[in-house]
């Protein structure tokens, strides 16, 4: 595991974008699971601005680690956010964009998306393998859409699960922990002082840290990178 701390969100976006450009360079195909949230939004803008003309986007296939069960035009849609801040600014074939259908029946969509991953990705021990999974982390220590109150979904049999937000009750479709930990590379994008307590507990393995789904991210390849800003990393020694 590698922990990288930078001055602010913009620097995190800059450094992650360089990391991403290096990962995809020269690859015949590259399969990445995207994250939602405020930090990925800045990252997508940086990627489009600095690498829009230099990355060969036709070789990259885009998926999502999770999606809210809302239509694609809804303001809360992770897909909509990615279109606005990345896809609308680069040349990427439509057939390379594999969205979770947030408007579909959640259980049926989780099954469909799991089948899609099995078809499109190589598999390791029957589990689909992404080249890269990008993750965020909530103030409660959740990642993708695996929340502490449903941490058992992490080891679910199905590659994709239906989760429920603990406060709003909103349903979400998410990849499970086995898929996350099978990826060749996993990168956390975590910024802001509101995340510092959980970052400290998880990375310093303080008492009770295992209750947070983000603490369970441990890819079998060992290739895990945390991209933090100074505010999120402020609790680390």
Please write the tens of the pLDDT for every residue from 110-126. 999 999 999 999 999 99
pLDDT at 237 over 90: no
Give all strands of the β-sheet with 66-68 in edge-to-edge order.
Answer: 66-68, 171-175, 160-164
Burial class (CB in 10 A: 0-12, 13-18, 19+), 200: middle
Q: What's residue 49's pLDDT? A: 98
The residue ranges of every structural domain in the chain are: 7-134
Q: Note the pTM of the prediction, 2 decimals.
A: 0.97
User: Is-contact 134 34, C-beta < 8 A?
Assistant: yes
CA distance 101 to 38: 21
Angle between helix 38-51 and helix 78-85 axes, rounded to 10 deg: 30
CATH of range 7-134; options 3.40.50.1360, 1.10.340.30, 3.30.1330.10, 2.60.120.10: 3.40.50.1360
Q: What's residue 202's pLDDT? A: 98
pLDDT at 215 over 80: yes
């Amino acid at each position: 595991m590698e922990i990288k701390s930078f001055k602010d969100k913009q620097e995190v976006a800059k450094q992650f974008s360089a990391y991403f450009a290096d990962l995809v360079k020269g690859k015949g195909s590259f399969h990445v699971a995207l994250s939602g949230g405020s930090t990925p939004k800045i990252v997508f803008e940086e990627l489009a601005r600095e690498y829009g003309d230099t990355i060969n986007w036709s070789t990259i296939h885009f998926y999502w680690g999770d999606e809210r069960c809302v239509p694609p035009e809804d303001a809360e849609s992770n897909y909509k956010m990615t279109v606005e801040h990345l896809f609308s600014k680069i040349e990427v074939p439509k057939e390379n964009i594999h969205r979770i259908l947030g408007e579909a029946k959640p259980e049926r969509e989780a099954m469909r998306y799991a089948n899609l991953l099995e078809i499109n990705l190589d598999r390791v021990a029957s589990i689909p393998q992404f080249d890269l999974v990008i993750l965020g982390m909530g103030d409660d220590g959740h990642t993708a859409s695996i929340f502490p109150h449903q941490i058992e979904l992490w080891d679910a049999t199905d590659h994709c699960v239906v989760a429920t937000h603990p406060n709003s009750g909103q349903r979400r479709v998410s990849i499970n922990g086995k898929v996350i930990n099978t990826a060749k590379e996993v990168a956390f994008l975590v910024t802001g002082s509101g995340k510092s307590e959980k970052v400290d507990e998880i990375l310093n393995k303080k008492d009770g840290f295992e209750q947070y789904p983000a603490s369970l991210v441990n890819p079998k390849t060992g290739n895990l990178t945390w991209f933090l800003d100074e505010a999120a990393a402020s609790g680390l020694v």
